[in-house]
Amino acid sequence: MTLNRRQFIGTSAAMAAALSAPMVKAQGKPRVVVVGGGAGGATAARYLAKDSKGGIDVTLIEPTRKYYTCFFSNLYLGGFKEIEDIGHSYGGLAAGGVNVVHDWAIGVDRDAKTVTLAGGGSVPYDKLILSPGIDFVEGAVEGWGLSAQNAMPHAYKAGSQSELLKAQLMAMPEGGTFAMIAPPNPYRCPPGPYERVSMVAHFLKQNNPTAKIIVADPKPKFSKMALFQEGWANHYDGMVDWIGEDFGGGNVSVDPNAMTVTIDGEETKVDVCNVIPAMKAGRIADLAGVTDGNWAPVNATDMSTKADADIYVLGDASSQGDMPKSGYSANSQAKVCANAVRGALTGSKVFPAKFANTCWSLIAPNDGVKVGATYEATPEKIAKVDGFISQTGESADLRKATYEESEGWYTGITSDMLG
Amino acid sequence: MRVFGIIFGVAASVISTVAVADKFGDPAAGEKVYRQCKSCHQVGDGAKHRIGPQLNGLFGRQAASHDDFRYSKALMRAGTGGLEWHADTLDAFLENPKAIASGTRMSFRGLKNPQERLDLIAYLRVFSDSPANIPEADPTASPTDHDIDPAILALKGDPEYGEYLSSECTTCHQTSGGDDGIPSIVLWPEEDFVLAMHAYKNKNRSHPVMQMMAGRLNAEEIAALAAYFAVLEE
Ligand SMILES: Cc1cc2nc3c(=O)[nH]c(=O)nc-3n(C[C@H](O)[C@H](O)[C@H](O)COP(=O)(O)OP(=O)(O)OC[C@H]3O[C@@H](n4cnc5c(N)ncnc54)[C@H](O)[C@@H]3O)c2cc1C
């Protein structure tokens, strides 16, 4: 990918930001700290800085210098994108007035209202927004742990993991086997594993057509199932073997040294094994004490946590009700939250919460499908209002238009998040 | 896919705002109205594409579906998304082409007089298969539910509210005006914006995401968005 103008400006602005970043505290302004510069956190930071026009001191804490989107990382596996197409700098946020601090948050002192950084020091806040994404539940897949993530990548956080999985896919022997261990609900991006199966199948069809894909799934059914299964039959006949809960797909163990997968007692030697374990909120939510079980329960009107009115949790880490864990959802929640936080700190008008989500998936070249819904805040949860889903048997023209729309969405959401 | 027939049925029985419910157009009068179309369109024996496509066999056909005519992206998108030409969709299109496909190349300000539209549609119907031969075919002319109350068009939106609401749009539509895959929505005239959103809300436009998003916005909210986007600087 060539460097375009926006990225070029972004890079130089990021350098300027890196110089000025370490906590020059504006006097007397309300302070918001955002932890995690992904779909939720970047959007919240950008909107708070933009809409308060400098009236709020916004600090974003994010360890990585570049955000690789999980969305479209499957298209990278399929060969439709280069890795740099899905990597975005934080220069636009810095230029938009956000203090970007590249560090890990390792603790939250709720009494003192400070966030502790791995690099030393702490940052005070009036309001704290956590959008740390996901971590994996330990021991969720027998035989797998984080120490095995090089032998059996999850590629469910994008970047080097995606590159690793792609390299393994490319190195598969002729007629080899690609295994996926799919996650139980709830997890990040419900159609994600199945879009990945489609993209892996597309790659193999081009490069290694006698290869096989096995999916062990602890669920009896999955998102857009009819659409994916129709697509697999149309484009990759006989290549994908999906083993659902009913056939023992949930009874799985792996051996990363031997490169074997055992499904319902039957051991298979595989060439690549993509383990996507059960998920939970990113660890900092736990450390802040705002989780209950695996996720952080929040109030639907503003995404504030049930545990602490000054701490908000966005995106995948939150437990909010009916919205799926997606980049679109996190972005939508971030805007509602930013509006409410700004109102609480500056007295600006707070408008009623409105949420939406649409997830596009690519099944094969120009064969795109989508599912979406709108949501509202109720006293109990974020509740679904209305929705739609692509239909089986749609025309090739419509599927192509849907795919092109997803490209438009990608450009739209990344600039909406990162400026 | 017959999206519009269903809507029409519901609107006619439930709302029945239009007094001309069972009035049919007059093809002879329609021929006179058609004179305005002639500089761009041909219809009848030997009709060919000119500036606009030829209009034989229009009824029941998917919009923008002549392979040998170059349509605007906007109309192609509408056709792919399910827009078919029937009395009700034609009526909406003829009243204001931009309400149905904002980027259409048909630069025609529209026929505001409902009787003229009924007549013109009746005239064009002559060049499609005869309704007498196919009983289930479109009625020659029928009332529609797309008319927008002038009070709605007159609403002045609150741009501050519009700015907040716009954050729902900018997840997909770029504020820079980029339009790959997803159309641009910045710097539209307010009226076009309001008409388009109400057309989605009433399901006269066929895109499912937009029907869903517009469906839950009320008239004030649509006005607020229109006011905001009309002046948005790049
Ligand atoms: C394969 C795949 C495909 C997907 N496709 C789509 C799609 O097509 N559409 C869609 O809408 N969604 C998609 N998603 C889902 C989407 O990526 C996530 O739902 C979204 O990124 C969630 O946003 P978030 O802000 O909660 O977390 P993230 O975007 O993951 O951001 C979390 C950030 O927090 C940082 N962080 C974590 N802990 C700390 C800490 N202690 N201190 C500081 N920073 C920290 C991380 O570095 C990271 O940058 C997909 C996901 C996958 C895996």
Domain range summary for chain B, segments of one domain joined by +: 2-133, 150-231
Does B208 contact A395 at a Cβ distance shorter than 8 Å?
no
CATH topology of domain B150-231: Cytochrome Bc1 Complex; Chain D, domain 2 (1.10.760)
B91 with B117: CB under 8 angstroms? yes
For an interface test with B, give the residue of A69, A374, A394 to mutate (most B CBs within 10 A). Answer: A374
Answer whether A4 touches B (CB < 8 Å).
no
pLDDT of the residue at A346: 96
**Could you give the CA distance from residue A82 to residue A75 in angstroms, rounded to a whole number?**
9
**What's the pLDDT tens digit per position in A162-188?**
999 999 999 999 999 999 999 999 999
**What's the pLDDT tens digit per position in A47-79?**
999 999 999 999 999 999 999 999 999 999 999
Residue predicted with more confidence, B102 or A91: A91
pLDDT of the residue at B138: 58
Give yes or no for residue A105 having a pLDDT over 50.
Answer: yes
**What's the pLDDT tens digit per position in A372-390?**
999 999 999 999 999 999 9
Give yes or no for residue A13 having a pLDDT over 50.
Answer: no
State which residue of chain B sits closest to A386, comparing Cα positions. B212
State which residue of chain B sits closest to A359, comparing Cα positions. B209
- The residues in B 212-231 lying below 8 A from A, measured between CB atoms, are 212-213, 215-216
Give yes or no for residue A312 having a pLDDT over 50.
Answer: yes
For an interface test with B, give the residue of A50, A51, A335 to mutate (most B CBs within 10 A). Answer: A335
Enclosing H/E stretch for A357: strand A354-364
Ligand 1 site residues (CB inside 6 A) read A 35-41, 61-64, 67, 70-71, 73-74, 104-105, 131-133, 156, 188-189, 192, 196, 282, 284, 314-317, 325-328, 330, 359-360
Give yes or no for residue A9 having a pLDDT over 90.
Answer: no
Q: Tokens 């002046």 — which residue?
A: B231
State which residue of chain A sits closest to B167, comparing Cα positions. A335
pLDDT of the residue at A18: 40
In this prediction, residue B132 has a pLDDT band, given cuts at 50, 70 and 90, of low
Does A388 contact B175 at a Cβ distance shorter than 8 Å?
no
Superfamily of segment(s) B2-133? Cytochrome c-like domain (1.10.760.10)
pLDDT of the residue at B10: 34
> Taking CB atoms and an 8 Å cutoff, what residues of chain B touch A416?
167, 170-171
pLDDT of the residue at B98: 86
**What's the pLDDT tens digit per position in B8-45?**
333 333 333 333 334 678 889 999 999 999 988 999 99
As for the ipTM of the complex, it is 0.81
Distance in Å, alpha carbon of B176 to nearest chain A alpha carbon: 9
CA A201 to ligand 1 centroid distance, Å: 24
Give yes or no for residue A283 having a pLDDT over 50.
Answer: yes
H helix intervals, chain B: 3-10, 27-34, 73-80, 87-95, 97-100, 114-125, 150-154, 159-169, 190-201, 208-215, 219-231
- Going along chain A from its start, the domains and CATH numbers come out as 5-135+279-418 (3.50.50.60), 138-275 (3.50.50.60)
When pLDDT is averaged across residues A395-413 and rounded to a whole number, the result is: 95
Distance in Å, alpha carbon of B91 to nearest chain A alpha carbon: 25
The secondary structure of A131-185, three-state, reads: CCCEEECCCCCECCCHHHCCCCCCCCCCCHHHHHHHHHHHCCCCCCEEEEECCCC
Give yes or no for residue B194 having a pLDDT over 80.
Answer: yes
Stretch among A115-119, A371-375, B196-200 having the lowest mean pLDDT: B196-200
Distance in Å, alpha carbon of B133 to nearest chain A alpha carbon: 29
Task: Tell me which residue in A370, A398, A413 faces B80 most closely, judged by beta carbons.
Answer: A398
Give yes or no for residue B143 having a pLDDT over 80.
Answer: no
CA B85 to ligand 1 centroid distance, Å: 44
B185 with B222: CB under 8 angstroms? no
pLDDT of the residue at B199: 86
DSSP state of A78: H
The predicted model scores a pTM of 0.83
Give yes or no for residue A22 having a pLDDT over 80.
Answer: no
> Taking CB atoms and an 8 Å cutoff, what residues of chain A touch B172?
358, 405, 408-409, 412-413
Answer whether A297 touches B (CB < 8 Å).
no
pLDDT of the residue at B23: 62
Whether B2-133 and B150-231 share one fold: the answer is yes
Stretch among A9-13, A141-145, A155-159, A307-311 having the lowest mean pLDDT: A9-13
**What's the pLDDT tens digit per position in A262-282?**
999 999 999 999 999 999 999
